[in-house]
Amino acid sequence: MKAVRLHEPVGIPGLRYEDAPDPVPAIGDVLVKVHASGITPTELDWPLWTDQLGHKRDYIVPAHEFSGEVVALAWGTAGLSVGQEVFGLINGYRDGAAAEYIAVEARDVAPKPKTLDHVAAAAIPQAGLTSWQALFDHGHLEAGQTVLILGAGGALGLVAVQLAHPVGANVIGAGRSGVRSHVLEMAADRFVDLEQDRWWDSVGQVDLVYDIIGGDVAARAMSTLKPGGAFVSVVLPPSELRADIRFVNFVREPGRAYLKEIANLVDTGKLRVEVGAVYPLSETQKAFTDQSNRTVRGKVIGARSSCSPDPHRRRFSCIEWVGRIRAPEAWHCARPGQTIELKTPARRPPKPADSAALRTRHHADTRELARLRRTRPRPTDESRAARLQLPAHRQPRRAAAGCACRHAVQLGPQPCERV
């Protein structure tokens, strides 16, 4: 398959579009044909050059949020089916979705929102999971409270505004003047221009600060918190922290339960996503460059080859796995229009049998079993003694001749009393 890989931590110039090994799903994984993947401009700088066991990785594949179609299930996978359209967020210690196929943990995948296509669905997981956990899991936002969102015009900020407003919170969005109308359109109650002098004086007192920017802006925003308030950040924290507030710095966790809630908000019209530009997989390096230079507003999406204008690119048209298989054995790039079907041997169903014949066979087997029990040889005295391992003076002996006793064996040195 084709994938975009980074072999050394040199940033965007090191991205290479090349052939890569086919992913092999492990226990609990699901194999997904990627239709679109979301790009985060800072992810190439994340310190993720080891796997979860601490082993060094030879390369990384970027773009950890995706939307696609399930093509195979590994052992232990539950809640998903082959052919199902899904979206999700990959663990940062695994290869990302800038590839034609990915193996991802099934617990980090959920059914795609029905009202979105794959391109729009791939723009949700990172922003949705991060903002949901920041506001509700760590910030404990409730109705009637006031939240200040720093960087409200970005992908995370716009989703946070839409998540906070339906719960009854007073939402204050902070950003550059150029995004004022867009943030207010997303249901923010107020907007604060960060380019104005002493902007923090116009904010007032808030219960929660959600920081996506960091730096001097975050330090200034700390003065707006009420005593006992919460400062939740996904970037580097300020150098000085107040002692009377609760500070949380976290990294979002993928999870199917969160994704299902977010998908429900999308399908009910309570959450919208904004896609800035779509690039073919072969132009992933250009996509990272444009987003880093802030030349694209909104989420940047990398699409699979079927959306690519390159006619020389090899394409998969349809690959289907029938049944549950541990690992694909016939991966290759198909010719355009070719369909590959890998079938596992099906279990042959039993032949139908007459119920009366089955009952007759059952009764015959029962009578034969009873006959065998009656005719089987009984154990001898010696075999009994060996099994019981009795001492010499307690060894069994037969009764004397003419004994009318019903017992076949008398224990002890004395003869039978009835002789």
Please check whether residues 120 and 144 belong to one and the same domain. Answer: no
Q: Which of 343, 364, 396 is the endpoint of a domain? A: 343
Give me the half-sphere count of Cα atoms (radius 13 Å) on the Cβ side of residue 146. 14
Task: Provide the CATH number for the domain around residue 177.
Answer: 3.90.180.10
Residue 101 lies in a domain: yes
| Sign of the torsion formed by the C-alpha atoms of 112, 113, 115 and 117 | negative
Q: How many whole angstroms separate alpha carbon 321 and alpha carbon 154?
A: 39
For residue 312, is it within any domain?
A: yes
Confidence of residue 378 (pLDDT cuts 50, 70, 90): low
pTM: 0.70
Q: Report yes or no on 419 lying in a domain.
A: no
Residues 32 and 8 in one domain: yes
**pLDDT score, position 368:** 67
Cα four-point dihedral sign 260, 263, 269, 270: positive
Quick one: 13 and 68 in the same domain? yes
CB–CB of 183/203 below 8 Å?
A: no
Backbone angles phi and psi of 375, in degrees to 5:
-95, 0
14 and 115 belong to one structural domain: yes
Residues 62 and 168 in one domain: no
Q: What is the pLDDT of residue 413?
A: 47
Nearest to 309 by CA among 350, 279, 329: 279
Comparing 220 with 403, the larger pLDDT belongs to 220
pLDDT at 164: 95
Q: Which of 320, 343, 366 is the last residue of a domain?
A: 343
119 in the same domain as 183 = no
Task: Return the closest-CA partner of residue 344 out of 20, 24, 82.
Answer: 82
Is 168 inside a domain boundary? yes
- In a 3-state reduction of DSSP, which class is residue 305? helix
Residue at 364 is within a domain: no
More confident residue, 409 or 268: 268
Query: Domain range holding 189?
Result: 127-249
Whether residues 226 and 301 share a domain: the answer is: no
Task: Name, in order, each residue with C-beta under 8 angstroms of 285's C-beta and a sequence gap of 6 or more.
Answer: 4, 12, 13, 15, 17
Beta pairing, strands 299-303 & 318-322? unpaired
Tell me: do 147 and 116 sit in the same domain.
no
Say yes or no to pLDDT of 231 above 60.
Answer: yes
Distance CA(118)–CA(112), nearest Å, equals: 8
Give residue for tokens 């154990």: 379
Q: Percentage of the chain with pLDDT > 70? A: 71
| 148 shares its domain with 109 | no
Q: H or E segment at 193?
A: strand 190-193
d(CA 406, CA 408): 6
Can you give the pLDDT at residue 375? 67
Residue at 149 is within a domain: yes
Q: Buried b / exposed e across 72-85, counting CB within 10 Å, b at 16+? A: bbbeebeebebebb
pLDDT at 304: 67
- Give the tens place of pLDDT for each residue, 260-283: 999 999 999 999 988 888 899 999
What's the mean per-residue pLDDT of the chain? 79
| 11 and 117 part of one domain | yes
Q: Which of 200, 233, 249 is the last residue of a domain?
A: 249
How many domains is the chain built from? 3
CA distance 255 to 133: 11
Q: pLDDT band for 380, please (50, 70, 90 cuts).
A: low
**Whole-angstrom distance, CA of residue 206 vs CA of residue 223:** 10
Per residue in 283-315, pLDDT tens? 998 888 887 777 666 667 777 654 433 333 333
Residue 331's pLDDT is what?
A: 35
Lowest mean per-residue pLDDT among 4-8, 195-199, 254-258, 322-326 = 322-326
Residue 135: pLDDT over 90: yes
pLDDT tens digit sequence for 66-79: 999 999 999 888 88
pLDDT over 60 at 338, yes or no:
no
Same domain for 26 and 135, yes or no, is: no
Cβ atoms of residues 67 and 121 within 8 Å: yes
User: Is residue 53 in a domain?
Assistant: yes
Q: Give the pLDDT confidence score for residue 341 in this predicted structure.
A: 40
* 341 phi, psi to nearest 5 deg: -130, 120
Among the listed ranges 86-90, 191-195, 237-241, 384-388, which one has the minimum average pLDDT value? 384-388
Residue 214 and residue 115 share a domain: no
372 assigned to some structural domain: no
